[in-house]
Structure 1
């Protein structure tokens, strides 16, 4: 028996390839080429990246060269014009799904980067487009969101990271964590609270004080702790701590107006990025498990094995349909409904992937979980990454909406 099995294409697992995107004025990247790239180039690197809990720089360089790190930008900026509500909306989500079948961590880096570009595109000025976005056609710069903070309570009225106005910009101070992609090789969109706006008990709260700023590694006072990030799964989505020690942020790096992120309901737009990753992980688990099981004639002939493989395929097919349905919902004007449909799809895809992990883990057996093989890493990645879902919160939100009660469909959990 070979130590490392080839990961078969989706069709070998009985899974449909991603549907082609709708017509768009921008040239659409080739998802089949991306699948080939992930299977032949990313897969052999995955074990070493997991062991090092390292940013997948080689993967990201190849994604950059293929245009995958500009998907959410318009054609004028070298992108595919793929954002929710556009005709090419499925492209960036299907790219995340495709990469997640092999490297969920790389897929999350891709997701965060493209979401950040989309935010700069809509919230930024033409000058900021020229400064931060246009150069991506020539060189690799990674973008990150830097919002999470140690000890920040859900629903807090302020971030602990503060932005103090001063002549020509802001002075930012605070500590952040889980900053996927970091700032050492690009730019970070930092969430801060403006001093003197929407105080802890004041009117407006986050809606009044939330301010985005863009930081970069050359700024005095910006530092990154890569050694802090050591989870059991999603180790390839390197997400360091960031320290901001009285960092002077010039006006050129202040992104949008106070409260822009909340008014734009940006968090709700990102549900489907997670959804696509969960679905891809489930499909990757199935693909590899089928290749493993086919080595054992007595297992593939076992009706018990056949029935449970079929159960997983049915669940993943339903999950894929839920993703497609949610993408379509964003083409309608009811944003809140689209958010709720996206939350349902996110939970559906996560639960289908968990079913695949639990069921196929039993069918393949413990040897399949040895580090020579990707299955154990995929399962650990899944168990770590779905903590973003918060099934109880997701279901409570959907239930509250159905019952006519107050709800917030932009929350991750």
Structure 2
């Protein structure tokens, strides 16, 4: 069977123009995807055909090399631009892109050749799955899955994971778990790659949520899957100690994109209604929201520039600042836009209430209060270390 290889867009202006050209179709389909909580297949068919699904594959393997030094700022700009159209699609785009980027960093040459490059070049989708927090249950959410050897010396995987964004659309799952040992869980963690076609893998459709519904972040269950030795990526703990790239600014970019989409809609709504456009109070609110967004975007891209400089420790420190501001601004702007536009704007024929729900739901994906608390602790301690999964931890002098 011949596998189609898709092009890769290497010029940022062209990438942004491509997203703009796809925006009308994305907007037209967003309501159906949201109401039915189904994966945006057509959106990703178009992203794939446009060459936007191999952006975090290294250049020497045929990708664009984004989400690495020199490619952080353009990567977050793409997420922000997508989120201004449809936040769930932007989140799915970043989950897949992060998966390809993480695999590319940890993979050996042989693994790149066998697994990662073929997936990316063919536009296959890869989900990153780590959470063991069960929806609706009272539990700590702490992961405990560990690979074990069977009596034949083979690695065997048994796990139940949740919040697997991309859900049934993923072609492969990058699952985070630990190797056997006595060190802390994070320092034993590796990524393993399990194909969607594995009969030992079962999808759990439990995604019925307030917002971000078309991310279809289902659960997955893997039972007695014999894992090939070469499907284990990275040395134990590599993401914690060797590669401090995180999701922090991707969250911020998604928030600010959704807020901008809300404000753009609101400006058009007000402009077409003279009784609103002439109100000094509404003009003030529009100006204030625009100022908030500009300030938050400045924080986002300042931190992205620090990532691009190679100073990853300072970059994550600044990223926590940016995320703290982005969440507050996004929640404020999406809510105030509804106030400005009034009751008719909450009808589902318009995107405003969806932007609001998506922002509210996505802001629960992480506990920003914990990020911000640690930020304050780091300021008091005078030093910090970067967490592999995002944020910083104070270190006493």
Is TM > 0.5 for Structure 1 vs Structure 2? yes
Q: Give the drift of 1:193.
A: 2.3
Q: Give the drift of 1:336.
A: 2.0
Q: Name the structure 1 match of 2:51.
A: 67
Aligned alpha-carbon RMSD (Å): 2.1
Q: Any idea what the Cα deviations from partners look like across 1:28-65, whole Å, max 9, x if unmatched?
A: 46144234234211000000000111111111111111
Q: Name the structure 1 match of 2:73.
A: 90
Q: Any idea what the Cα deviations from partners look like across 1:61-110, whole Å, max 9, x if unmatched?
A: 11111121111112333321212322x32222111111101110000010
Q: Give the drift of 1:165.
A: 2.7
Does the residue aligned with 1:215 lie in a helix, a strand or coil? strand
Q: Name the structure 1 match of 2:294.
A: 317
Deviates more, 1:54-63 or 1:132-141: 132-141
Q: Name the structure 2 match of 1:274.
A: 251
Partner of residue 176 from structure 1, selected from 155, 161, 182: 161
Q: Name the structure 2 match of 1:115.
A: 98
Q: Give the drift of 1:208.
A: 3.7
- Determine whether 1:216 maps to 2:195: yes
Q: Give the drift of 1:269.
A: 2.2
Distance, in Å, in 2 between the alignment partners of 1:358 and 1:183 is 32
Contact 1:56-1:106 at 8 Å conserved across structures: yes
Q: Name the structure 1 match of 2:353.
A: 376
Q: Any idea what the Cα deviations from partners look like across 1:320-377, whole Å, max 9, x if unmatched?
A: 1111100111134442221110111112122111121121111101110101111111
Distance, in Å, in 2 between the alignment partners of 1:65 and 1:279 is 26
5+ unaligned residues in a row in structure 1: which ranges?
A: 1-24, 199-203
- Determine whether 1:51 maps to 2:67: no
Pick closer, same or farther for the CA change 1:392–1:72 going to 2, 3 Å: same
- Determine whether 1:253 maps to 2:231: yes
Contact 2:303-2:318 at 8 Å conserved across structures: yes
Distance, in Å, in 2 between the alignment partners of 1:160 and 1:137 is 30
Q: Give the drift of 1:296.
A: 0.9
Partner of residue 369 from structure 2, selected from 387, 392, 395: 392
Pick closer, same or farther for the CA change 1:168–1:135 going to 2, 3 Å: farther
Contact 2:77-2:253 at 8 Å conserved across structures: yes
Aligned length: 377
Q: Name the structure 1 match of 2:176.
A: 191
Q: Any idea what the Cα deviations from partners look like across 1:358-411, whole Å, max 9, x if unmatched?
A: 211111011101011111111000000011342321221111111116755435
Q: Name the structure 1 match of 2:112.
A: 129
Pick closer, same or farther for the CA change 1:344–1:126 going to 2, 3 Å: same
Q: Any idea what the Cα deviations from partners look like across 1:106-155, whole Å, max 9, x if unmatched?
A: 0001001111101111101112212223224653311111101135636x
- Determine whether 1:289 maps to 2:266: yes
Partner of residue 89 from structure 2, selected from 92, 96, 106: 106
Distance, in Å, in 1 between the alignment partners of 2:11 and 2:334 is 36
Q: Name the structure 1 match of 2:222.
A: 244
Distance, in Å, in 2 between the alignment partners of 1:32 and 1:190 is 31
Contact 1:35-1:98 at 8 Å conserved across structures: yes
Contact 2:40-2:214 at 8 Å conserved across structures: yes
Distance, in Å, in 1 between the alignment partners of 2:342 and 2:15 is 32
Distance, in Å, in 2 between the alignment partners of 1:183 and 1:126 is 29
Distance, in Å, in 2 between the alignment partners of 1:194 and 1:343 is 30
Distance, in Å, in 2 between the alignment partners of 1:318 and 1:208 is 37
Distance, in Å, in 2 between the alignment partners of 1:30 and 1:316 is 24
Pick closer, same or farther for the CA change 1:32–1:258 going to 2, 3 Å: closer
Normalised TM-score (structure 1): 0.86
Q: Name the structure 2 match of 1:16.
A: none
Q: Name the structure 1 match of 2:275.
A: 298
Distance, in Å, in 2 between the alignment partners of 1:174 and 1:307 is 53
Pick closer, same or farther for the CA change 1:244–1:135 going to 2, 3 Å: same
Distance, in Å, in 2 between the alignment partners of 1:207 and 1:356 is 36
5+ unaligned residues in a row in structure 2: which ranges?
A: 1-8, 392-397
